[in-house]
């Protein structure tokens, strides 16, 4: 048996396919990766975060957008859809279309069984190439766990806020928001 060669695509081919697709895919170094559907807790957490953060940012210069907003990272060529992002000031886009945001300030990923290691490892590494990104938030959909990483003035990333019980909270300092774990996990099922 011989291995089948991996089909490679240009970024332009990916965008053409993606804009016509019924499902979302990531693109990195010529390969297209279909994104798996999310479970109940994942979606409930994203909805809660969207509500809490969206309400907090109402009438402010920052905006939150959910998983249908694709970002592009010119430094490494990744096209992906964070679970939630925050951008401050005027949005910047790739080209003349408004479907590839270039300047997120905060990215939130809700970790699922299939994405947890990627979100914490390689994806975080790729995200760190975004010049405007100052905070990265990881929320676990399987257990009570939330972490906020912040980029210091020296360009180094460090864990600055974490919570592991329902009575705790995390701080997204870039926008001055404290998020209670009880609010983040409000509509979830059987979180440990």
Domain spans in the chain, listed from the N-terminal domain onward: 39-184
Q: What is the value of pTM for the model shown?
A: 0.93
For β-strands 106-111 and 135-140, DSSP reports them as: parallel
Residue-wise pLDDT tens digits, 64-92: 999 889 999 999 999 999 999 999 999 99
* Three-class secondary structure of residue 32 per DSSP: strand
* Three-class secondary structure of residue 182 per DSSP: helix
CATH 3.90.800.10 fits 39-184, yes or no: no
CA–CA–CA angle 35, 64, 96 (5° rounding): 75
Residue-wise pLDDT tens digits, 3-54: 666 789 999 999 999 999 988 999 999 999 988 778 899 999 999 999 999 9
120 CB burial (10 A radius; 0-12, 13-18, 19+)? middle
Q: Which of the four pLDDT bands, split at 50, 70 and 90, describes residue 2?
A: low
Give residue 14's Cα distance to chain centre. 20
pLDDT recorded at residue 6: 77
Closest alpha carbon to 81 in 38, 142, 20: 38
């Amino acid at each position: 048996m011989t291995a089948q060669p991996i089909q490679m695509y240009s970024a332009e081919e990916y965008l053409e396919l993606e804009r016509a697709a019924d499902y979302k895919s990531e693109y990195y170094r010529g390969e297209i990766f279909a994104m798996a559907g999310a479970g109940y807790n994942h979606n409930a957490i994203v909805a809660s975060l969207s509500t809490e953060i969206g309400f907090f940012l109402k009438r402010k210069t920052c905006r939150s957008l959910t998983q249908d907003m694709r970002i592009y990272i010119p430094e490494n060529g990744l096209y992906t859809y964070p679970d939630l992002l925050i951008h401050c000031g005027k949005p910047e886009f790739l080209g003349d279309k408004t479907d590839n945001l270039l300047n997120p300030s905060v990215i939130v990923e809700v970790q699922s069984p299939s994405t947890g290691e990627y979100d914490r490892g390689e994806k975080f590494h790729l995200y760190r190439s975004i010049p405007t990104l100052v905070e990265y938030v990881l929320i676990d959909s399987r257990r009570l766990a939330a972490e906020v990483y912040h980029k210091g003035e020296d360009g180094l990333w460090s864990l600055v806020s974490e919570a592991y019980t329902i009575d705790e909270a995390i701080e997204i300092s870039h926008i001055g928001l404290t998020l209670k774990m009880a609010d983040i996990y409000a509509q979830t099922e059987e979180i440990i």
